[in-house]
């Protein structure tokens, strides 16, 4: 039976295989038939197929095969192995079978197959035949792709040697390694991509490997290349599916989850799983630094809530620059906080800024990829950026929801203030005024001095209460602010402040006659009102100046005093006055700046958009 007839006989088995796998088998058979014709063996009959087939040990111990029948038998082993290999689902089992088949058909005592890793510089798998487990254990670590093995990795061409030790590129063997002389190595290549190499040593009878051995080994190497490529394609498709599922999960959470912390925890957890990181952190700005809001991984104890400085940490620099960075060695980067690095026990990192409309609002940090080396790849960085984009959406959405909620509360407060101010003015004030009018007839008809003194006391009490009610109504919501605008309301405020505090107050307005938006007027009025309250309570000032002016597309209010001042860096985080002013200005789309120093007075600058 010829090699072509062998394939014809195997047609039922080929029909049961997937079309692409069957094509690979047929291609291998055609190459085998071509090799038969080259050897002049086409149409020759092999030995009786019922006779026992000699295994690898028979090939290794017998004399070199020279008969045409044994040559055909070797090719038949190759074709049969191709059909069997095409039905194997496990990559390791398939590669192991290729190694054993290569040893059988070439008469090699030892065989090995090395799979090159994705970097193309080292071996990620190394399977052997002819070396028992005890010898494996005695040798120690598997080869990393140096010496003769490295030659084949760098130069993907067949290599035959009479004696490995005679080649100047050889680096020798480790202790307890069996002696090896003759050598045949063929690359595992598919469509110009090198996936690994097939190594054969110690041909039976002490002879060198022949051209026919090289041809047969290359046929097996071609099948190994297909198997490795398919395995990597399957691995990639599985990884892409996991990424898609995780991204979809995060997307669904963005649509349904309102709390920020669970969202960030989900992003950190899924990223940690997909890039196989030891630790993933998400840090958000807080005050003058960064605070870790979410942490996932094996060493997260104490990480959540950890504070990082903006200018003394790598995360702070990445936040400022707004660019992703991959750090292979944290010890070699001068921007890294080495104390935090030692505390976390990490060596490499990915830093990805959370960007929203060109603005950095946080940083995703991944540390130490699990595996032989802790270095992340560019694919890991791209994936981290995808998760960073979704985390940025979560943070931005949370901030917008928070701002909207606070804005609604502030608006409701202003409406309630206005209602209470009207009630105090229209109802309570008028009732007190009516009492004053009712006291006049009583005073005129009072006959005794005691009665007149009592009525006078009541009159003074009513007048004092009426003044307090009017003052409270103005503090709640001055009608001048709604009726006439910011400048008249601030003038009324400064007059009242001057009367009550006895301080000298200078007011200068450069706003003109054009009214500002209601939100801008209310915000600036409240800031000035709160600043004057703080001056009375804390500053011990003798003079206050207030300036209102237009600046580009905004309006600026400046309140300055000559009081004792304070250290802005030492202000409590829960200082309600400053926090309230800052929050109000932020809600209006502006910014607040407080400048002060002990003994140097205080300047409060609030700027809000004018349109």
Instruction: Classify residue 285: in a domain, yes or no.
Output: yes
pLDDT of residue 319: 92
Token pair for 219: 């046929």
Note the helical H segments in 446-514.
Answer: 449-476, 479-483, 486-501
> Mean of the pLDDT values across residues 530-537?
91
pLDDT per residue as tens digits for the range 400-415: 877 787 788 888 888 8
Rounded Cα–Cα distance for residues 148 and 157 (Å): 12
Terminal CA-CA length for the chain = 92
Instruction: Classify residue 460: in a domain, yes or no.
Output: no
Domain containing 271 — which CATH number? 3.30.450.40
Average pLDDT, the chain: 80
**Ranked by mean pLDDT, which of 149-163, 241-255, 586-600 comes out on top?**
586-600
Instruction: Classify residue 276: in a domain, yes or no.
Output: yes
Token pair for 114: 């090395």
CB 364 within 8 A of CB 395: no
pLDDT of residue 69: 64
If asked whether residues 119 and 55 sit together in one domain, one would say yes
Q: Phi/psi at 122 (nearest 5 deg)?
A: -150, 180
Domain containing 543 — which CATH number? 3.30.565.10
Residue 125: CB partners within 8 Å, gap ≥ 6? 92, 95, 113, 114, 115, 196
Which stretch of DSSP H or E encloses residue 113? strand 108-116
> Mean of the pLDDT values across residues 174-195?
83
Cα–chain center distance at 441: 81
Nearest of 331, 308, 335, 334 to residue 321 by alpha carbon: 335
If asked whether residues 270 and 377 sit together in one domain, one would say yes
Instruction: Classify residue 413: in a domain, yes or no.
Output: no
CB 324 within 8 A of CB 299: no
If asked whether residues 186 and 46 sit together in one domain, one would say yes
Nearest of 43, 45, 47 to residue 33 by alpha carbon: 43
If asked whether residues 491 and 589 sit together in one domain, one would say yes
If asked whether residues 193 and 277 sit together in one domain, one would say no
DSSP assignment of 331-375 equals GG-TTS-HHHHHHHT---EEEEEEEETTEEEEEEEEEEESSSS-P
If asked whether residues 98 and 213 sit together in one domain, one would say yes
> Mean of the pLDDT values across residues 290-296?
89
If asked whether residues 133 and 75 sit together in one domain, one would say yes
Radius of gyration of the chain (CA): 43
Rounded Cα–Cα distance for residues 224 and 189 (Å): 9
If asked whether residues 226 and 331 sit together in one domain, one would say no
Q: Is residue 524 scored above 90 in pLDDT?
A: yes
pLDDT per residue as tens digits for the range 427-482: 888 888 888 888 888 888 877 888 888 888 998 998 889 888 888 888 888 888 88
Residue 556: CB partners within 8 Å, gap ≥ 6? 547, 548, 549, 550, 605, 606, 607
Nearest of 609, 550, 606 to residue 581 by alpha carbon: 606
Q: How confident is the model at residue 547 (pLDDT cuts 50, 70, 90)?
A: very high
pLDDT per residue as tens digits for the range 3-30: 444 444 444 444 544 555 455 545 555 5
- How many domains does the chain divide into? 3
Which stretch of DSSP H or E encloses residue 193? strand 193-203
Rounded Cα–Cα distance for residues 321 and 360 (Å): 8
Q: Is residue 316 scored above 60 in pLDDT?
A: yes
Q: Is residue 134 scored above 90 in pLDDT?
A: no
pLDDT of residue 592: 92
Positive or negative, the CA dihedral 200, 203, 204, 206 is negative
Token pair for 389: 């984009």
Rounded Cα–Cα distance for residues 35 and 53 (Å): 21
If asked whether residues 197 and 264 sit together in one domain, one would say no
Which stretch of DSSP H or E encloses residue 258? none
pLDDT of residue 10: 43
HSE toward the beta carbon, residue 121, CA cutoff 13 A = 1
What is the pTM assigned to this prediction?
Answer: 0.57
Rounded Cα–Cα distance for residues 461 and 272 (Å): 71
Rounded Cα–Cα distance for residues 272 and 315 (Å): 18
Tell me if residue 534 falls in helix, strand or coil: helix
Instruction: Classify residue 440: in a domain, yes or no.
Output: no
- Strands laid side by side in the 159-161 sheet: 123-129, 108-116, 193-203, 183-190, 159-161
CB 122 within 8 A of CB 116: yes
pLDDT per residue as tens digits for the range 358-385: 888 899 999 998 876 788 888 889 988 9
Q: Phi/psi at 130 (nearest 5 deg)?
A: 100, -10
pLDDT of residue 560: 95
156-163, long-range: CB < 8 A, 24+ apart:
156/187, 156/189, 156/194, 156/197, 157/187, 158/184, 158/185, 158/186, 158/187, 158/214, 158/217, 158/218, 159/183, 159/184, 159/185, 159/186, 160/184, 160/185, 160/208, 160/209, 160/214, 162/208
Rounded Cα–Cα distance for residues 294 and 398 (Å): 15
Rounded Cα–Cα distance for residues 316 and 353 (Å): 10
Looking at per-residue confidence, does 571 or 101 come out higher?
A: 101
Alpha-carbon torsion, ordered 339, 345, 350, 354, to 10 deg? -60
Q: What is the 3-state secondary structure (H, E, C) of 61-108?
A: HCCCCCCHHHHHHHHHHHHHHHHHHHCCCCHHHHHHHHHHHHHHHHCE
325-327 and 183-190 as β-strands: parallel, antiparallel, unpaired?
unpaired
Looking at per-residue confidence, does 465 or 572 come out higher?
A: 465
Domain range for 206 is 3-236
pLDDT per residue as tens digits for the range 36-78: 454 443 443 443 433 443 333 333 334 344 456 666 666 677 6
Nearest of 362, 384, 265 to residue 316 by alpha carbon: 362
Residue listed under structure tokens 């197959």:
113
If asked whether residues 31 and 102 sit together in one domain, one would say yes
Domain boundary, last residue among 383, 402, 421: 402
DSSP assignment of 399-451 equals HHHHHHHHHHHHHHHHHHHHHHHHHIIIIIHHHHHHHHHHHHHHHHH--SHHH
Instruction: Classify residue 473: in a domain, yes or no.
Output: no
Instruction: Classify residue 167: in a domain, yes or no.
Output: yes
pLDDT of residue 21: 47
Instruction: Classify residue 478: in a domain, yes or no.
Output: no
Residue listed under structure tokens 């400022």:
320
If asked whether residues 370 and 335 sit together in one domain, one would say yes
Domain boundary, last residue among 361, 384, 402: 402
Nearest of 510, 515, 540, 529 to residue 602 by alpha carbon: 540
pLDDT per residue as tens digits for the range 203-246: 988 888 988 888 888 888 888 888 778 877 887 788 788 878 88
Q: Phi/psi at 146 (nearest 5 deg)?
A: -110, 175
pLDDT of residue 605: 94
Which stretch of DSSP H or E encloses residue 124? strand 123-129
Q: How confident is the model at residue 301 (pLDDT cuts 50, 70, 90)?
A: low
Token pair for 216: 């047969």
Rounded Cα–Cα distance for residues 271 and 249 (Å): 12
pLDDT per residue as tens digits for the range 96-111: 888 888 888 888 999 9
Q: Helix 429-445 to helix 449-476 angle, to the nearest 10 degrees?
A: 170
Q: Is residue 257 scored above 80 in pLDDT?
A: no
Token pair for 142: 């598997």
Token pair for 580: 């309230």
Domain boundary, last residue among 173, 201, 236: 236
If asked whether residues 94 and 194 sit together in one domain, one would say yes
Token pair for 133: 């487990």
> Mean of the pLDDT values across residues 252-279?
83
pLDDT of residue 352: 93
Looking at per-residue confidence, does 571 or 368 come out higher?
A: 368
Q: Which of 103-112, 130-139, 206-215, 386-395 has the lowest mean pLDDT?
A: 130-139
């Amino acid at each position: 039976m010829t090699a072509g007839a062998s394939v014809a006989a195997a047609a039922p088995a080929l029909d049961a295989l997937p079309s692409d796998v069957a094509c690979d088998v047929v291609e291998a058979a055609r190459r085998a038939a071509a090799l038969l014709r080259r050897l002049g063996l086409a149409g020759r009959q092999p030995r009786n197929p019922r006779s026992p087939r000699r295994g690898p040990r028979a090939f290794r111990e017998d004399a070199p095969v020279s008969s045409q029948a044994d040559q055909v038998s070797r090719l038949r082993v190759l074709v049969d192995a191709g059909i069997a290999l095409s039905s194997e689902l496990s990559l390791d089992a398939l590669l192991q079978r290729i190694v054993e088949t290569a040893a059988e058909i070439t008469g090699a005592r030892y065989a090995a197959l090395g799979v090159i890793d994705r970097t193309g510089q080292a071996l990620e798998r190394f399977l052997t035949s002819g070396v028992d487990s005890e010898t494996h254990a005695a040798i120690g670590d598997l080869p990393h792709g140096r010496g003769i093995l490295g030659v084949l990795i760098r130069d993907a061409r067949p290599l035959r040697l009479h004696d490995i030790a005679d080649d100047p590129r050889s680096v020798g063997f480790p202790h307890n390694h069996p002696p090896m002389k003759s050598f045949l190595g063929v690359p595992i290549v598919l469509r110009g991509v090198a996936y690994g190499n097939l190594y054969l040593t110690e041909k039976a009878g002490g002879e060198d490997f022949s051209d026919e051995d090289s041809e047969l080994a290359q046929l097996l190497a071609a099948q190994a290349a297909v198997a490795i490529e398919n395995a990597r394609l399957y691995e990639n498709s599985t990884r892409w599916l996991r990424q898609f599922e995780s991204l979809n999960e995060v997307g669904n959470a963005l649509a349904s989850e309102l709390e920020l912390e669970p969202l960030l925890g989900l992003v950190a957890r899924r990223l940690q799983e997909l890039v196989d990181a030891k630790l993933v952190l998400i840090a958000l700005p807080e005050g003058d630094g960064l605070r870790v809001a979410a942490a996932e991984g094996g060493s997260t104890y104490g990480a959540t809530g950890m504070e990082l400085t903006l200018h003394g940490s790598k995360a702070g620099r990445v936040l400022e620059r707004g660019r992703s960075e991959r750090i292979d060695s944290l010890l070699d980067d001068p921007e890294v906080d080495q104390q935090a690095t030692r505390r976390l026990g990490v060596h490499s990192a990915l830093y990805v800024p959370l960007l929203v409309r060109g603005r950095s609002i946080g940083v995703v940090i991944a540390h130490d990829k699990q595996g032989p080396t802790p270095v992340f790849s560019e694919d890991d960085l791209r994936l981290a950026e995808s998760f960073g984009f979704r985390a940025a959406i979560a943070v931005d959405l949370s901030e917008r929801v928070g701002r909207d909620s606070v804005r609604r509360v502030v608006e409701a407060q202003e409406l309630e203030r206005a209602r209470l101010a009207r009630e105090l003015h229209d109802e309570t004030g008028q009732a007190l005024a009516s009492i004053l009018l009712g006291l006049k007839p009583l005073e005129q008809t009072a006959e005794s001095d005691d009665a007149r003194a009592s009525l006078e006391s009541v009159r003074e009490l009513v007048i004092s209460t009426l003044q307090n009610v009017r003052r409270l109504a103005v503090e709640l919501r001055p009608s001048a602010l709604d009726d006439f605008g910011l400048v008249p309301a601030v003038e009324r405020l400064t007059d009242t402040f001057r009367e009550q505090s006895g301080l000298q107050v200078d007011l200068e307005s450069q706003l003109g006659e054009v009214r500002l938006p209601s939100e801008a007027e209310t915000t600036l009025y409240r800031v000035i009102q709160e600043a004057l309250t703080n001056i009375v309570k804390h500053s011990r000032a003798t003079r206050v100046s207030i300036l209102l002016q237009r600046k580009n597309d905004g309006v600026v209010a400046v309140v300055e005093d000559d009081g004792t001042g304070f250290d802005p860096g030492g202000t409590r985080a829960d200082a309600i006055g400053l926090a309230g002013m800052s929050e109000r200005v932020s809600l209006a789309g502006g910014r607040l700046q407080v400048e002060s120093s002990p003994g140097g007075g205080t300047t409060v600058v609030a700027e809000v958009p004018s349109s």
